């Protein structure tokens, strides 16, 4: 995940929550990962709370996504108050270190290392769809294992492991472990491993909202 940090009151309208009809039916398919990916293609927007741990650093982020690729991150830990917005049309990032629309406002490229994670992850490749793309690339060159049903954050999840040999990696990852929500197919937890089994990052996701009601200028820069 991208590492900065913040807490802001300028958040999405949480009155609109996920529609109960929005389901991936991962519990009733022989290929829950495929079902999760297919369902994600129907999702136009979502919000989630991310807790990531990478290279010994923990970060909590309120993450919002809207197709065709708008991203807003509100950081809840270090650099408290920072807000970041990415516009896929201009391919630029605006970072407000002290809160949305406050001075100063930094206009950055998503390639700027200031707003990349320690593992090099970029904001323009940070959504669940980008994760699923990487997982799909790995599974076509390796194997997929269904590990069973487990409880993550009080929710039932299907544990899936996707791996290849140490001589192959996608964005420095050779193995993923994913816990997919049995209703939506969204990841509740993701572990990514590099070569020789080294743990690269742990990400927990909670508070998912599918198709929330965003204010009109929520992703504006």
- pLDDT, one tens digit per residue, over 2-16 is 434 233 333 444 333
- Tell me the two tokens of residue 106: 């930094």
Tell me the mean pLDDT in the region 173-199: 95
pLDDT band at 27 (very low <50, low <70, confident <90, very high): low
**Rounded Cα gap, residues 188 and 207, in angstroms:** 10
CA distance 44 to 101: 25
| Whole-number pLDDT of residue 15 | 37
Each residue's pLDDT tens digit, 49-69: 999 999 888 999 999 999 999
- The better pLDDT of the pair 113, 80 is held by 113
Average pLDDT, the chain: 88
Average pLDDT over residues 144-159: 96
138 Cβ contact partners less than 8 Å away, ≥ 6 residues apart: 162, 163, 164, 168, 170, 173, 174, 175, 176
pLDDT tens, residue by residue, 28-50: 678 999 999 999 999 999 999 99
Question: What is the DSSP secondary structure assignment for residue 48, as one 8-state letter?
Answer: E
Domain annotation for the chain: domains and CATH numbers: 26-210 (2.50.20.10)
Q: Of 36, 33, 35, which is closest to residue 138 (Cα–Cα)?
A: 33
The yes-or-no verdict on residue 200 having pLDDT over 80 is: yes
Mean pLDDT calculated for residue range 75-84: 90
Write b or e for each residue in 136-150: b if 16 or more Cβ atoms lie within 10 A of its Cβ, otherwise e: ebbbeebebeeeeee
pLDDT > 70? residue 86:
yes
DSSP 80: T
Could you tell me how many residues make up the chain?
Answer: 221
pLDDT confidence band for 19 (50 / 70 / 90): very low
Please, where are the H alpha helices in 51-154?
128-141
Task: Output the pLDDT for position 117.
Answer: 81
Range in 17-26, 31-40, 87-96, 156-165 with the lowest mean pLDDT? 17-26
Mean pLDDT of 129-142: 95
What is the full DSSP assignment across 150-204? EEETTEEEEEEEEE--TT--BTTBSEEEEEEETTT--EEEEEEE-GGG-EEEEEE
Q: What is the mean pLDDT of residues 103-120?
A: 91
CA angle 65, 131, 113 (to 5 degrees): 75
- Residue 27: strand, helix, or coil: helix
Q: Where are the alpha helices (DSSP H) in 43-149?
A: 128-141
Rounded CA separation 177/160 (Å): 6
- pTM as predicted: 0.86
Averaged pLDDT for residues 150-172:
92
């Amino acid at each position: 995940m991208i590492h900065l940090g913040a807490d802001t009151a300028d958040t999405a309208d949480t009155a609109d929550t996920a529609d109960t009809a929005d389901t991936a039916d991962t519990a009733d398919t022989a290929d829950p990962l495929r079902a999760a990916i297919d369902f994600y293609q129907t999702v136009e927007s979502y919000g989630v709370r991310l807790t990531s741990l990478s290279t010994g650093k923990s970060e909590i982020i309120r993450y919002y996504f809207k197709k065709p690729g708008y991203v807003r991150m509100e950081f809840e830990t270090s650099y408290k108050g920072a807000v970041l917005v990415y516009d896929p049309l201009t391919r630029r990032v605006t970072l407000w270190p002290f809160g949305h629309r406050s001075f100063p406002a930094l206009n950055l490229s998503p390639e700027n290392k200031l707003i990349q994670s320690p593992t090099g992850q970029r904001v323009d490749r940070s959504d669940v769809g980008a994760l699923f793309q990487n997982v799909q690339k790995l599974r076509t060159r390796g194997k997929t294992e269904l590990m069973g049903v487990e409880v993550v954050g009080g929710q039932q999840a299907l544990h899936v492991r996707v791996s290849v040999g140490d001589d192959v990696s996608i964005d420095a990852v050779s193995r993923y472990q994913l816990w997919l929500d049995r209703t939506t197919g969204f990841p509740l937890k993701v572990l990514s491993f590099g070569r020789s089994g080294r743990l690269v990052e742990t990400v927990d996701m909670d508070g998912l909202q599918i198709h929330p009601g965003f204010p009109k200028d929520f992703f504006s820069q």
